[in-house]
Amino acid sequence: MPSRRLTRAGLAGLVATATVLPLAGCGVLGIGGSNADLQIYSARHYDLEGAFKEFTDETGVTVEFISGSDAELLQRIKAEGKDGEADVFMTVDAGNLWNAAEQGVLRPVDSAALTQAVPEDLRDSGNQWFGLAMRARTTMYNPDKVKPADFDPTDTYAGLADPKWKGRLCMRDATSAYTQSLVASLIGLEGREQTLATVKGWVANGVDIKSNDVELLKAIDAGTCDVGITNHYYLARELKKKPDMKVKPFWASQSGAGTHVNISGAGVVKTSNNPAKAQQLIEWLATKGQSSFVDGNHEYPVNPSVKPEPLIADFGEFKRMPISAEAYGSENAEAVKLLSEAGYK
């Protein structure tokens, strides 16, 4: 990859410049300058500054984070080896967290606080990573055209293959990580044969592919589509701008396995020079800092004792599908293959 000088922007008016290991598409933000106590390598890009600044204000531990794609950051950590600067690896999607552990870049953490704060299926069985924020990918509908009783309450995702939804369905494309994770989770839950039949049913219904979740929600609002599948927080964002938007969530499969969810999370890098402080940061994000970490993007806290912010709380409570990070990670390639086989674009 070409060499690139990355800017290091400090909060509260602190701005500096630093040269770092070449990495395409990467940005650096510091809270405490270039001599920060912790280096966070983050593939998560949702309002990190506020939470990290609050952590620094409370603890005195300064942080600096480098942002990039999951693959780029993992490559960088492995390339830096034992001389690497990364203390915490943070990413989106349970499959990516599972993959980081499989690649041996994380270290186990012995933390009673994290064990208590993070439900068992939202953390690694070997305590190498921990979920910190949760998103639900569920059914969205136009209430002028669809009634909740129209959905299959047991298997809502498969129910969208019913011919009654022909010409009424919008979804994301096959290259979307959201689509791939949903299909991977269905493979792990229902098996390949059933999942293939479901996806073929979506295709047979003439699914209208949208480039992003916001476009999809706007199509439902406009009546171009009657129903679709998106992450819940995109609806929250749009409702904040347009409260009268004609879109409502229907919590999928509440009489069955529950609604598909995924997580963002973090782990302590094996070569960290500050593992105790890195663990302190992750513990804070899962406990005192949960709301600061998740509320800005309208995500759900993983910690059951922390309430969701008011806008998404109005969506109502729901039963979630248990997460299998191994299935999300190991079945992703199979999900891509299945989507192609079904003719899903």
22 CA to centre of own chain: 26
Burial of 69 (C-beta count, 10 Å sphere; 0-12/13-18/19+):
middle
41 annotated as ligand-binding = no
Q: Say how many C-beta atoms besides its own lie within 10 A of residue 27's C-beta.
A: 15
45 is in an annotated binding site: yes
Q: How many other CB atoms sit within 10 Å of the CB of residue 244?
A: 6
CA distances from 201 to 48, 152, 163, 195, 345 (A): 39, 14, 8, 10, 13
**Spatial CA neighbour of 229 closest among 257, 259, 196, 193:** 259
Give the separation between CA 311 and CA 295, rounded to whole angstroms.
Answer: 10
Which residues, other chains included, contact 248 with Cβ-Cβ below 8 Å and sequence gap of 6+? 140, 141, 143
Number of Cβ within 10 Å of residue 34's Cβ equals 13
Token pair for 295: 């509320």
Could you write out the DSSP letters of every residue in 34-49?
Answer: TT-SEEEEE---SSHH
Strand partners, 65: 29, 40
Are residues 64 and 274 in contact, defined by beta-carbon separation less than 8 angstroms?
Answer: no
Angstrom CA distances, 82 to 67, 77, 107, 116, 274, stand at: 20, 9, 13, 31, 13
Residue 300 marked ligand-binding? no
Contact 69, 41 (CB under 8 A): no
Annotation: binding site for Fe cation:
45, 233-234
Annotation: binding site:
45, 233-234
